[in-house]
Amino acid sequence: MDKPTIKWIGSPNYSSPRGYKTIAIVNHIMEGTLVGTDSWFGNPSSKVSSHFGVGKNGEMHQYVDLKNHAWANGKVDKPNWPLLIPGVNPNYYTVSIEHEGKSGEVMSEAQYQATIALHRWLIATLGITVTRDTIIGHYRIDSVNKSRCPGTGFPWDRLFKDLLGGDNVLKVAVLLFTKDDFWSGYDVVVKNGNCAIFVRPTDLSVPAEAYNAEKLIVVGGPTAKHPNEVLLSGKDKYQTAAAVAKYLG
């Protein structure tokens, strides 16, 4: 993936590599402007920085090289983040993005498109898995002093929907519990325009592609907890077949 167009600004505030793999993207709000942030991060006495800044007009700035550690999330106070490594400065294993604006403000479309492009590029470049624990807000690391960073205006739901689904999101998918449900599921697949079909792993997890489908039809077994789910299940394959027959009309 090509790197998005990012203007190098630079900052004297960073640490040299400490040997940790970057496992998460931490999102911030500037509580100010991009121009102001350029000058604040460029000032050695501020002792703060981030890797990137995204402006309201979609302009992207970079302050710290990816191989170095920005000074964005050093303080840990009442964290709510399972991937936190005890005793290690979170700056050493995170990459940070600042966003122009004030906490609670709704992001402009240009700013949203810029930050999603930046997220996509970082995910591809750093090999980050997309989850709610690997793309986080500053408040997850410091819930006391940074509870409003990046704030309620940050578009988490849209961001995850776009990052997980992209243009390849399935309109509808069928999820089978076991192969016993195949023949019932087959008819459901045909009824839905020969849509994609998945089989549930033995640990009952839901394949990501199936979960990200706009609509998920579960044939047999328990709910997949999909927000737009059709559950066609009975106690055994016969009851499931009956539920499917009713669905097919």
DSSP state of 75: -
Tell me if residue 8 falls in helix, strand or coil: strand
Question: Is 163 in contact with 119 (CB distance < 8 Å)?
Answer: yes
Q: Pick the stretch among 2-10, 51-59, 138-146, 237-245 that binds Zn ion (CB under 5 A).
A: 138-146
Beta bridge partners of 216: 173, 229
Single out the residue of 11, 14, 24, 28 in contact with Zn ion (rule: CB under 5 A). 28
| Residue 149 beta carbon to Zn ion: minimum distance, rounded to whole angstroms | 3
Q: Pick the stretch among 77-85, 133-141, 213-221, 237-245 that binds Zn ion (CB under 5 A).
A: 133-141
Backbone angles phi, psi at 242, to 5 degrees: -65, -40
DSSP state of 56: T
By CB under 5 A, residue 138 contacts Zn ion: yes
Distance between CA atoms of 50 and 29, rounded to whole angstroms? 11
By CB under 5 A, residue 149 contacts Zn ion: yes
Nearer to Zn ion, 141 or 174 (CB): 141
| Residue 146 beta carbon to Zn ion: minimum distance, rounded to whole angstroms | 5
Backbone angles phi, psi at 193, to 5 degrees: 65, 35
| Residue 28 beta carbon to Zn ion: minimum distance, rounded to whole angstroms | 3
Q: What angle do CA 69, 66, 83 make, to 5 degrees?
A: 60
Q: Pick the stretch among 24-32, 55-63, 173-181, 224-232 that binds Zn ion (CB under 5 A).
A: 24-32
Nearer to Zn ion, 31 or 59 (CB): 31
- Contact positions vs Zn ion (CB under 5 A): 28, 138, 149
